[in-house]
């Protein structure tokens, strides 16, 4: 089984890091930050303008810099059989 990873940016320091995706939908991306017993789950939700996803982990804001349309296109490309209704 291959885990999907995405690159997020910590806004405070500007540091980029890879996180593992648990679930990806256009309205929410659930990710795991860290490995082993020190991992933390986080929900990334779209920003107001829909150009990025943001969430907090242990008081730090992380941002995934892709729009809702780009994420939905990724989902459609990876799972062409599963076309969900788009409630934007």
Q: What is the pLDDT of residues 34-77, one digit of tens each?
A: 999 999 999 999 999 999 999 999 999 999 999 999 999 999 98
- Check pLDDT > 60 for residue 84: no
- Residue 78: its pLDDT value, please? 80
* β-bridge partners, 62: 10, 55
pLDDT band at 87 (very low <50, low <70, confident <90, very high): low
Asked if 74 and 64 touch (Cβ cutoff 8 Å), the reply is: no
- Give CA–CA dist 5/24, Å, rounded: 11
pTM: 0.84
**Better-scored residue on pLDDT, 39 or 1:** 39
């Amino acid at each position: 089984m291959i885990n999907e990873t995405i690159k997020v940016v910590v806004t405070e320091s500007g540091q980029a890091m890879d996180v593992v995706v648990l679930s990806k939908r256009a309205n929410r991306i659930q990710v795991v930050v860290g490995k082993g017993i020190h991992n933390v789950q986080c929900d990334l939700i779209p920003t107001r303008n829909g150009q990025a996803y943001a969430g907090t982990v242990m008081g730090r804001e992380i941002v995934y810099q892709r729009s809702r349309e780009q994420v939905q296109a990724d989902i459609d490309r990876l799972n062409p059989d599963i076309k969900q209704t788009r409630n934007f």
